[in-house]
Chains A and B, each alone.
Chain A
């Protein structure tokens, strides 16, 4: 079992409605089970997220659900350098005459046959191609580049986005990721969202009413300098 599978299972466990999670430290907590072998598909479901963390046991989920979720997370990760990076565009764009064309499909989301164009998870920003580049060169002649390309970076992006947790069995799961540029939850979790990650209740519009950010990671991250504080200030607002 790969680490990739692990996260998929973990996420699946957190997302599947009705999965029972028991909070650590409660008196009726069952004894820790014997860890399954390393290659067992249920390993992550019964292993604490990390040593020393409160134990949150997760029950096995249906095998097909796992596979669906796994495939979705893998597809999602393959389009990004790290969790939080803008995904690359998996199709040609040069035939579109204007970046406004992106909105035709990605504004509200769009499905035709098996093809899905997901809605933007972030508020409307006019210059799509500022952040999103095509996965493959738009140029018909790319294959005929003169000589070998420069060697690729060995940058390893951080993809850890879970697991989410629940305080008790019926509690709404926490969000296992931040919300920077991800304020339209339904882009991924709605009906046109990723298989295995879709919500059971898309009719409820205000997601963050019940689902809170788990990590407490503030989106405006702090630096060493912020910790120091200091006398710096921006100038007062002096617009006429």
Chain B
């Protein structure tokens, strides 16, 4: 880094003093002409969603002062969204956490990092099996990798799971069940050429705005793009739709089956494609990831009940609209791209619904050429890169490996130079189990005694908060460690709070929704004593090593996080003063790269990413030494792992014959539906202005003032019968809790009669005290999108 730390500190102090005078949206602004120092620009991926836009960050005197869309980035081509343009503001909340704090006599009191590391080491030595890490799809790849190695290679208990479990788990199981390997075949380039876009329970106009406008802006260039929006409420995406199919929650399963049935009934399914590249699959009695083999005949028979009439009856979607959607799938000349995200994933039948969408594209042959693609969107910036590829899940190991397989454990032990048997074959606790267990008294079987949370806010985002988070209160032997940047609903309950560096205050690598790995450098310093999450893990590991902990030694007795500089000299990276003596991210990434080869998710060397705006794996070295990314996976014309002459090869097929699986999955009613006591459907979600729990965006005045409070969207007729108008306070209750908040009638989103919607960004109005912890049996992902609720005037 070139800037002077003292200068930086002075600047920070000055800024703090001037805070009151520099409110951005209104009031005085500072138009700086006296100081002619130019901004220094460097690249970074945006900190927010899974789109993975690249921003240019303008810094001066150690502060971020401007942001631009990166014109050189394929993802966003110079454009951002409201959150992205204001991402620089996330660093400068006046209440940034700046010093470690330990709870003593009920109060958080400052402690040194040295003391904090002793506390962590004491907890681990006290109960190693009960120590867990709860991480994030917002972890950088090196952060997740370090935690993964720490838990699975060091503590041997596999108790690590990310918030991506709440977000992407069903997408992962959908990919695995269909293709035998995770992550999309297509990429964002499909959006530039598709004729038909289908959004399945998805509102990209607000949640992935840059991708959505990438498609919609094609219309202004005279291109025709037909949008089918399938949803349970009207959204901003619906505003752009040619056809809006409003369905009763959970009946998306039936709709997909209805379209598949029609493809067969019209004899319009792609027999050649299916014959060569697909096999059929069905559930066993107990749902499982791979089920059992089926046949076309059995598949067709199973679909038989899903007639237009039946599906119209249960879904509420007119047969005419279903027929129209079927028409498109039956037309091989149309290029169809499907997009989905939380509506399909946060679903107690999420795995099933994911496989059904893949199945429709396979059955109809709308697969494998540009524009014909089932594209699952991720919610978080590195849910793919970190949670899925590094495998920071309770059952997984890096590079698509799983702890249950002896060979996979052996690979990892070899890569990490660990003795045989170091990695535990028993999966750890997945998210819901981890928190349930943590909130259960030890003498009642609650064996998770310590959770270390990084880069996420479970105190706001777990479902059924009373049970899964607040249950910790009063359990004296349970201990919560939280690494974060701001005070949150989670730090409120924490016993040890560790201040973290964020975004461009540290080096980082993300992996976005389209398999793109993206690198950035630290550009400003974190405030106070805030430090990188990766450093925190390495320092804790080192403290254990120094105390003689065997797990922190490899089979030669060396520290498992031995970091070397580019000359091969060991760097004491566990000492903060030396952490940036070398690029630890680069070192860890190079250590991690070989893991990715087994599933053909090849990564380029770190330095290649430095010189690019991200590359989509597999990134394979060419004869001339250059590195080539892959846009269309499994497609012979682009994927280097498909043999010459083949058009499609699912080379990780579960059946070992290069075939993908088309599943039959029945419609199953949801675990909770409206009834007399709770007559409304409750759906939760995000809004454009805020990122997840609002910890960052809630501190950006432009975004906060535009969307200052959570609300409940009501249909006008329901509002009328309740005697409620916009702005009136209403109480929403479920079997798990209740919440009083303002009503919004005919607001931004318009739920149909009998449905309500509440966003989850507002930490003062925690809707997750009301949501359900019922989850998908395969992915273990809970359903935030539907449960039964009551509404009354407050």
Query: Quick check: A225 and B71 within 8 Å, CB to CB?
Result: no
Query: Quick check: A81 and B24 within 8 Å, CB to CB?
Result: yes
Rounded to whole angstroms, the CA-CA distance of A6 and B30 in the bound complex is 10
Q: Which residues of A contact B329 (CB under 8 A)?
A: none
The answer to the question of A94 belonging to the interface, with a C-beta cut-off of 8 Å to chain B, is yes
B325 to chain A, nearest CB (A): 23
B2 to chain A, nearest CB (A): 10
Q: Contacts A73-B31, A159-B29, A228-B607; is A130 near B209 (CB within 8 Å)?
A: yes
B65 to chain A, nearest CB (A): 4
Interface residue from A94, A156, A215 paired with B65 (Cβ < 8 Å): A156
Query: Quick check: A127 and B213 within 8 Å, CB to CB?
Result: yes
Rounded to whole angstroms, the CA-CA distance of A97 and B748 in the bound complex is 10
Interface residue from A79, A146, A157, A232 paired with B709 (Cβ < 8 Å): A146
Rounded to whole angstroms, the CA-CA distance of A78 and B30 in the bound complex is 10
Q: Find the B residue at minimum CB distance from A124.
A: B220
The answer to the question of A144 belonging to the interface, with a C-beta cut-off of 8 Å to chain B, is yes
Q: Contacts A78-B25, A131-B85, A133-B702; is A6 near B31 (CB within 8 Å)?
A: yes
Main secondary structure of the interface of A (DSSP, over half): loop
Query: Quick check: B94 and A151 within 8 Å, CB to CB?
Result: yes
The answer to the question of B422 belonging to the interface, with a C-beta cut-off of 8 Å to chain A, is no
Q: Which residues of A contact B56 (CB under 8 A)?
A: 221, 223
Query: Quick check: A230 and B239 within 8 Å, CB to CB?
Result: no
Interface residue from A49, A157, A232 paired with B608 (Cβ < 8 Å): A232
**Interface, chain A (partner B; CB < 8 A):** 3-4, 6-8, 10, 44, 49-50, 53, 73-74, 77-86, 88, 94, 97-99, 124-127, 129-142, 144-147, 149-160, 162-163, 180-181, 215, 219-226, 228-236, 238-240
Query: Quick check: A7 and B709 within 8 Å, CB to CB?
Result: no
Give the residue among A98, A154, A230, A234 with the most B Cβ atoms within 10 A.
Answer: A154
Query: Quick check: A160 and B32 within 8 Å, CB to CB?
Result: yes
Rounded to whole angstroms, the CA-CA distance of A124 and B16 in the bound complex is 39
Query: Quick check: B611 and A159 within 8 Å, CB to CB?
Result: no
Interface residue from A94, A138, A156 paired with B22 (Cβ < 8 Å): A156
Query: Quick check: A81 and B89 within 8 Å, CB to CB?
Result: yes
Rounded to whole angstroms, the CA-CA distance of A202 and B31 in the bound complex is 27
Interface residue from B39, B615, B742 paired with A141 (Cβ < 8 Å): B742
Stretch of B156-164, B424-432, B626-634 on the interface side? B626-634
Q: Contacts A81-B702, A158-B60, A220-B71; is A153 near B31 (CB within 8 Å)?
A: no
Residue interface bits B684-715, CB-to-A below 8 A is 1, else 0: 00001100001100111111111111010000
Query: Quick check: B33 and A132 within 8 Å, CB to CB?
Result: no
A94 to chain B, nearest CB (A): 7
Rounded to whole angstroms, the CA-CA distance of A232 and B605 in the bound complex is 10
Residue interface bits B325-357, CB-to-A below 8 A is 1, else 0: 000000000000000000000000000000000
Interface residue from B28, B30, B609, B689 paired with A133 (Cβ < 8 Å): B689
Query: Quick check: B626 and A238 within 8 Å, CB to CB?
Result: no
Rounded to whole angstroms, the CA-CA distance of A133 and B63 in the bound complex is 24
Rounded to whole angstroms, the CA-CA distance of A126 and B626 in the bound complex is 38
Q: Which residues of A contact B29 (CB under 8 A)?
A: 4, 74, 77-78, 157, 159
Interface residue from A160, A215, A225, A231 paired with B626 (Cβ < 8 Å): A231
Q: Find the B residue at minimum CB distance from A49.
A: B36
Query: Quick check: B698 and A139 within 8 Å, CB to CB?
Result: no
Q: Which residues of B contact A149 (CB under 8 A)?
A: 698, 704, 708
Interface residue from B24, B39, B220, B628 paired with A155 (Cβ < 8 Å): B24
Give the residue among A136, A156, A228 with the most B Cβ atoms within 10 A.
Answer: A156
Stretch of B74-82, B373-381, B399-407 on the interface side? B74-82
Query: Quick check: A234 and B629 within 8 Å, CB to CB?
Result: yes
Q: Which residues of B contact A221 (CB under 8 A)?
A: 41, 56, 68, 70-71
Q: Which residues of A contact B741 (CB under 8 A)?
A: 146
Query: Quick check: B608 and A94 within 8 Å, CB to CB?
Result: no
A130 to chain B, nearest CB (A): 4
Q: Contacts A137-B706, A220-B71, A230-B610; is A154 near B43 (CB within 8 Å)?
A: no
Rounded to whole angstroms, the CA-CA distance of A6 and B33 in the bound complex is 7
Q: Find the A residue at minimum CB distance from B221.
A: A124
B: interface residue count bin: 35 or more
Q: Contacts A154-B22, A158-B39; is A239 near B370 (CB within 8 Å)?
A: yes
A-B pairs with beta carbons under 8 Å apart, 11 shown: A88-B706, A98-B239, A126-B217, A137-B705, A150-B486, A180-B78, A222-B41, A223-B56, A231-B625, A232-B604, A232-B615
Q: Which residues of A contact B210 (CB under 8 A)?
A: 130
Rounded to whole angstroms, the CA-CA distance of A79 and B220 in the bound complex is 27
The answer to the question of B67 belonging to the interface, with a C-beta cut-off of 8 Å to chain A, is yes
Q: Which residues of B contact A134 (CB under 8 A)?
A: 706
Residue interface bits B198-221, CB-to-A below 8 A is 1, else 0: 000000010001101100110110
The answer to the question of B744 belonging to the interface, with a C-beta cut-off of 8 Å to chain A, is yes
The answer to the question of B737 belonging to the interface, with a C-beta cut-off of 8 Å to chain A, is no
Q: Which residues of A contact B630 (CB under 8 A)?
A: 235
Query: Quick check: B79 and A146 within 8 Å, CB to CB?
Result: no
Rounded to whole angstroms, the CA-CA distance of A154 and B29 in the bound complex is 12
Q: Find the A residue at minimum CB distance from B625.
A: A231
Q: Contacts A3-B30, A4-B28, A139-B744; is A155 near B706 (CB within 8 Å)?
A: no
The answer to the question of B301 belonging to the interface, with a C-beta cut-off of 8 Å to chain A, is no
Residue interface bits B736-771, CB-to-A below 8 A is 1, else 0: 000001111001100000000000001111000000
Query: Quick check: B93 and A180 within 8 Å, CB to CB?
Result: no
B30 to chain A, nearest CB (A): 6
Q: Contacts A127-B216, A153-B89, A219-B71; is A232 near B626 (CB within 8 Å)?
A: yes
Query: Quick check: B627 and A238 within 8 Å, CB to CB?
Result: no
Rounded to whole angstroms, the CA-CA distance of A150 and B193 in the bound complex is 42
Query: Quick check: B60 and A130 within 8 Å, CB to CB?
Result: no
Rounded to whole angstroms, the CA-CA distance of A135 and B25 in the bound complex is 7
Query: Quick check: B43 and A223 within 8 Å, CB to CB?
Result: yes
Beyond A180-B78, A226-B611, list 15 extra A-B contacts (CB 8 Å).
A3-B30, A127-B240, A133-B707, A144-B742, A151-B93, A152-B701, A152-B704, A157-B24, A219-B71, A223-B56, A230-B612, A231-B611, A232-B615, A235-B628, A238-B631
B348 to chain A, nearest CB (A): 30
Rounded to whole angstroms, the CA-CA distance of A147 and B709 in the bound complex is 10
Q: Find the B residue at minimum CB distance from A132.
A: B82
Report, nearest first, the 7 A-B pairs whose CB atoms are least far apart.
A230-B611, A50-B36, A141-B727, A141-B742, A133-B706, A145-B709, A158-B65
Q: Contacts A137-B706, A150-B704, A221-B41; is A83 near B66 (CB within 8 Å)?
A: yes
Rounded to whole angstroms, the CA-CA distance of A147 and B708 in the bound complex is 11
Query: Quick check: B742 and A235 within 8 Å, CB to CB?
Result: no
The answer to the question of B92 belonging to the interface, with a C-beta cut-off of 8 Å to chain A, is yes
The answer to the question of B58 belonging to the interface, with a C-beta cut-off of 8 Å to chain A, is yes
B554 to chain A, nearest CB (A): 32
Interface residue from A127, A160, A181 paired with B212 (Cβ < 8 Å): A127
A184 to chain B, nearest CB (A): 15
The answer to the question of B34 belonging to the interface, with a C-beta cut-off of 8 Å to chain A, is yes
Q: Find the B residue at minimum CB distance from A89.
A: B706
The answer to the question of B792 belonging to the interface, with a C-beta cut-off of 8 Å to chain A, is no
Q: Find the A residue at minimum CB distance from B72.
A: A220
Rounded to whole angstroms, the CA-CA distance of A8 and B746 in the bound complex is 43
Q: Find the A residue at minimum CB distance from B189.
A: A239
A190 to chain B, nearest CB (A): 22
Give the residue among B607, B708, B728 with the most A Cβ atoms within 10 A.
Answer: B708
A87 to chain B, nearest CB (A): 10
Q: Which residues of B contact A133 (CB under 8 A)?
A: 82, 688-689, 702-703, 706-707
Q: Contacts A53-B36, A159-B31; is A88 near B85 (CB within 8 Å)?
A: no
Query: Quick check: B700 and A131 within 8 Å, CB to CB?
Result: no
The answer to the question of B50 belonging to the interface, with a C-beta cut-off of 8 Å to chain A, is no
Query: Quick check: A156 and B608 within 8 Å, CB to CB?
Result: no
The answer to the question of B99 belonging to the interface, with a C-beta cut-off of 8 Å to chain A, is no
Query: Quick check: B216 and A126 within 8 Å, CB to CB?
Result: yes
The answer to the question of B590 belonging to the interface, with a C-beta cut-off of 8 Å to chain A, is no
Q: Find the A residue at minimum CB distance from B726.
A: A140
Residue interface bits B11-44, CB-to-A below 8 A is 1, else 0: 0000110110011111111111111101101110
Within 8 A of A (CB), among B295-341: none
Query: Quick check: B727 and A144 within 8 Å, CB to CB?
Result: yes
Query: Quick check: A142 and B709 within 8 Å, CB to CB?
Result: yes
